[in-house]
Amino acid sequence: MTTRGGSWTDLMSDETVVDALSLSMLLEDTVTPASGGRGSTKRSTNYTPQEDMQLCMSWETGQGILERIAEHFHANRTFHSDKNLNSLENRLDTIKKECGKFHACYEQDEPQASETKRPIGRKEAKQRLKTRGDAGPYKEAIEELILDKKEQKKLREEEKKLKEERWKEKRMIHHQKISLVKEKFMWEQEQRIMFCDVSTLNLDRKTYVLAMRAQNAAQKMAAFNSGFGSRFDGGFESSKGGDVNGASQ
């Protein structure tokens, strides 16, 4: 017979063998109503501790399985026993009843967690976490979680800053390209104006081209004079300063 759910073998563990044997001996003296005359009682059929243990190991839940319990009991016993189906059923009922009483007594004697120690309130738990006074098993995990969050925040800020720098760099390169294209276009237009053959143009276009040439020439001359004058003034000031220094010496 294979393993079954709800087996009474849990009661037969190494820690409870002595209790099971004692319970079995106590159950030998249990009285049950007789199947005969009214109100009369008789002692139940005597069961040995081995029979009780084998009966518990053969027990399983469900309906219509008393026959299988009896078959398993007699097939796996290592002792002599001639108990019939009705006897085994009555004995099982008695064992379950006494085990229920034992379990109830055990629950009453076992102290509850709420009786031994009062759980801390939410306010106290927050205060412990804030002051780092709680040295529980989760303290290190919480600290690591906080550090991870700080590192993640720092990485996000650095990534955001890097994206902004890349965007500014791309924007600057784009503006530089636009400026180069604009300068190239202006230079090409200037070259066309300065070196075109005016003899082939009508009067209006010829007048426009000559005016633009004069304007470009004036702008070039002004830029040249401005640059040359600044260099000349700088050199004159330096030479003048040298003369003054020499004269003072």
218-229 pLDDT per residue, tens: 888 888 888 776
Beta bridge partners of 33: 41
Q: Which of residues 63 and 231 earns the better pLDDT score?
A: 231
Q: Say what the pLDDT of residue 72 is.
A: 82
Q: Say what the pLDDT of residue 179 is.
A: 92
- Residue 108: pLDDT band (50, 70, 90) is confident
- Residue 249: pLDDT band (50, 70, 90) is very low
Q: Is the pLDDT of residue 176 over 90?
A: yes
- For 192-206, b/e burial (b = at least 16 CB within 10 A) is ebeeeeeeeeeeeee
Mapping DSSP to helix (H, G, I), strand (E, B) and coil, where does residue 6 land? coil
Averaged pLDDT for residues 10-20:
43
- Residue 156: pLDDT band (50, 70, 90) is very high
Distances (CA, A) of 61 to 41, 164, 165: 29, 71, 73
